[in-house]
Amino acid sequence: MNSKSYKVKEIISDALELPKDITLDLPKVIILGTDSVSIENHKGIISYKDDQIRINTSCGILTITGSKLVIKSIIQEEIIITGKIVNIEYR
């Protein structure tokens, strides 16, 4: 999506008070303490190891690091990861 189209959608979303994660296809990341993270609106898994999981999103690559990381659930709209989460970052 080009920046002009994105800006128009953002203005409409704000004016109508619609959730941006839906209207702009943005990822929604929910962190529960240090042992669970949920990612909605993902674009798929790039790599998966027990100490690092990389997920593609419309905003870039989301990297989750920690230990004993497990993909508890994966469906088209959402991924749930459990384990000892140490860091979450975008690149």
Residue 40, pLDDT > 70, answer yes
Domain ranges for the chain, please list them.
Answer: 27-90
Residue 15, pLDDT > 90, answer no
| Single-letter code of the amino acid located at 5 | S
Per-residue burial over 31-42, b if 16 or more Cβ lie within 10 Å, else e, is eeeeeebbbbbb
Q: How far apart are CA 12 and CA 75, in angstroms?
A: 29
Q: How far apart are CA 77 and CA 6, in angstroms?
A: 21
* Residue pLDDT, tens place only, 77-91: 899 999 999 999 998
- What's the fold here for domain 27-90? Immunoglobulin-like (2.60.40)
